[in-house]
């Protein structure tokens, strides 16, 4: 608790003014990574609640003077060098659980049980139950942009079912569902690897590297023509025919969970565009028709608003709106007094300060602080704040919160303060984790492609 999470959140994370990413990253990309995180990671919670109280000296600057939440449940591993770990309530990596569900009950709920298809509304958006909770694979802590992508990929799944049915008319409902899920999951993995990631880390080297990661060194054209002609020794040329998980099937590290804390990407409002004249060839940027606070785009209220806006207008609007930058003083203020949802999509009584909670979670789960984190990656640690950033205001604030003890620097703060490589929307330290965790699963899914 040193320094207090609420102090860190208030003095180093809380948004002063919205800082955007310009033309590099838009709100579709932001919603994309949220949907992927909801496919991969959610910690099992304990039954014991914790209360976090803001210290008196900063209490007036905190939207919540105190808030309660459930501890992360620790699980004994029985290993002497790792005494405890944490269970994931979602099925990690690219199996599309964000639209298909994480258990039998959830999977049955979203299926139409007709020609392999999933349930979708007549307007092309998700169906809802009588409480206006979406019928989808994941309904916890969602907003309109997130459910929009869920609906988009439900429609993709159903389109694949139509294609399969046309070419293989003898396939029954169950086989159509399973094959369409494989195809759709592979499409999601492919988009993330060679489209989303290369925008987040916008360099020619990364673009080439991620395409090699997916298609192999010989490239897409060779792979399309000849397929997997090489054995395991030369698998880097065209990818593996079968996945190789090195004996650890689809597990994610706490470090991976930590570097994906990117709520700064979210803005304060969604800017809706007027698309009534979108057929005009000179109509490059539709005019603004309405600005909606993010608080009105979350939960059930967001779902009702989405049903009025529609998929086309929402997609165009999100495509023209820049996301927030992953940097200091850009954490959404509305998320510091956030009403969370349970796994059924129902609101939880106690609001939370997400900025303070994220600092607490890393410490609670035993994630190393910034300097030790870099040492564990064989990266050079900082010895003074000037090693981290050239920003004089940031250096002054870091000194105020942490004193001169750079070893206390929290990982999330360090990642946001770190000087960035040109073209990178995230820090180099976070990139190391992306690279280490992501490469093998990409090869595994390349076999599906």
Q: What is the pLDDT of residues 184-198, one digit of tens each?
A: 999 999 999 999 999
Q: Is 18 helix (H, G, I), strand (E, B) or coil?
A: coil
* Confidence band of 282 (pLDDT split at 50, 70, 90): low
Q: Are strands 82-86 and 269-273 parallel, antiparallel or unpaired?
A: unpaired
Give the residue ranges of the annotated binding site for heme b.
Answer: 263
Give the residue ranges of the annotated binding site.
Answer: 263
- Write down the pLDDT at residue 70: 95
Q: Is 86 helix (H, G, I), strand (E, B) or coil?
A: strand
User: Catalytic positions, please?
Assistant: 260
Q: Is 202 helix (H, G, I), strand (E, B) or coil?
A: coil
pTM, entire model? 0.91
Inform me whether the pLDDT recorded for 277 exceeds 70.
yes
Q: Is 163 helix (H, G, I), strand (E, B) or coil?
A: helix
- Phi and psi at 334, nearest 5°, equal -65, -20
- Write down the pLDDT at residue 449: 38
- Write down the pLDDT at residue 442: 46
Q: Pick the more confident residue, 169 or 248.
A: 169
Per-residue pLDDT averaged across 30-41, rounded?
A: 95
- Write down the pLDDT at residue 435: 82
187-243 pLDDT, tens per residue?
999 999 999 999 999 999 888 888 887 888 888 888 778 776 666 556 667 766 676
Segments making up each domain of the chain, as ranges: 14-364+426-445
Do residues 30 and 323 make contact, with C-beta atoms less than 8 angstroms apart?
yes
Per-residue pLDDT averaged across 420-438, rounded?
A: 90
Across the chain, mean pLDDT equals: 91
The continuous run of DSSP H or E covering 66 comes out as strand 66-72
Inform me whether the pLDDT recorded for 391 exceeds 60.
yes
432 closest CA partner among 242, 271, 258, 248:
258
Inform me whether the pLDDT recorded for 280 exceeds 80.
no
Residues 6+ apart with CB under 8 A from 337: 63, 64, 351, 353
Per-residue pLDDT averaged across 10-26, rounded?
A: 96
Inform me whether the pLDDT recorded for 245 exceeds 90.
no
* Confidence band of 61 (pLDDT split at 50, 70, 90): very high
Would you state the CATH architecture of domain 14-364+426-445?
Orthogonal Bundle (1.10)
- Write down the pLDDT at residue 251: 77
Inform me whether the pLDDT recorded for 183 exceeds 80.
yes
- Which residue reads 């880390």 in tokens? 201
């Amino acid at each position: 608790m040193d320094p207090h999470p609420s102090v860190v959140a208030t003095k180093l994370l809380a948004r002063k003014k919205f800082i955007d990413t310009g033309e590099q990253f838009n709100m579709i990309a932001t919603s994309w990574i949220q949907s992927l995180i909801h496919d991969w990671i959610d910690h099992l919670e304990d039954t014991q609640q914790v209360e976090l109280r803001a210290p008196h000296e900063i209490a007036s600057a905190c939207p919540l003077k105190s808030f309660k939440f459930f501890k992360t449940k620790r699980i004994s591993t029985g290993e002497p060098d790792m005494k405890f770990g944490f269970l994931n309530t979602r099925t990690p990596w690219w199996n599309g659980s964000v639209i298909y569900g994480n258990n039998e009950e959830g999977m049955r709920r979203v299926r139409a049980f007709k020609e392999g298809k999933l349930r979708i509304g007549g307007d092309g958006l998700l169906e809802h139950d009588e409480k206006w909770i979406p019928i989808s694979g994941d309904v916890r802590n969602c907003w309109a942009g997130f459910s929009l992508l869920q609906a988009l990929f439900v429609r993709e799944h159903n389109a694949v079912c139509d294609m399969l049915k046309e070419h293989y008319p003898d396939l029954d409902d169950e086989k159509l569902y399973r094959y369409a899920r494989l195809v759709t999951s592979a499409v999601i993995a492919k988009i993330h690897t060679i489209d989303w990631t290369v925008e987040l880390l916008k360099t020619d080297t990364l673009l080439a590297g991620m395409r090699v990661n997916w298609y192999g060194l010989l490239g897409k054209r060779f792979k399309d023509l000849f397929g997997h002609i090489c054995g395991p020794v030369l698998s880097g040329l065209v990818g593996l025919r079968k996945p190789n998980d090195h004996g650890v099937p689809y597990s994610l590290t706490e470090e991976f969970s930590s570097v994906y804390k990117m709520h700064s990407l979210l803005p304060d409002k969604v800017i809706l565009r007027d698309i009534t004249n979108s057929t005009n060839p000179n109509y490059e940027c539709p005019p603004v028709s309405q600005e909606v606070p993010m608080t009105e785009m979350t939960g059930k209220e967001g779902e009702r608003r989405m049903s009025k806006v529609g998929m086309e207008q929402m997609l165009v609007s999100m495509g023209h709106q820049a996301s927030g930058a992953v940097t200091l003083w850009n954490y959404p203020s509305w998320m510091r007094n956030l009403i969370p949802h349970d796994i059924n999509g129902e609101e939880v009584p106690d609001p939370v300060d997400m900025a303070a909670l994220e600092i607490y979670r890393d410490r609670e789960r035993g994630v190393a602080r910034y300097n030790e984190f870099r040492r564990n990656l064989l990266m050079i640690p900082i010895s003074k704040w000037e090693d981290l950033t050239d920003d004089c205001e940031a250096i002054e604030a870091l000194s105020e919160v942490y004193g001169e003890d750079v070893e206390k620097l929290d990982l999330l703060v360090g990642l946001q303060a770190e000087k960035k490589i040109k073209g990178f929307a995230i820090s180099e330290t976070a990139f190391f984790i992306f690279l280490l965790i992501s490469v093998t699963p990409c090869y595994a899914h390349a076999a599906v492609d």
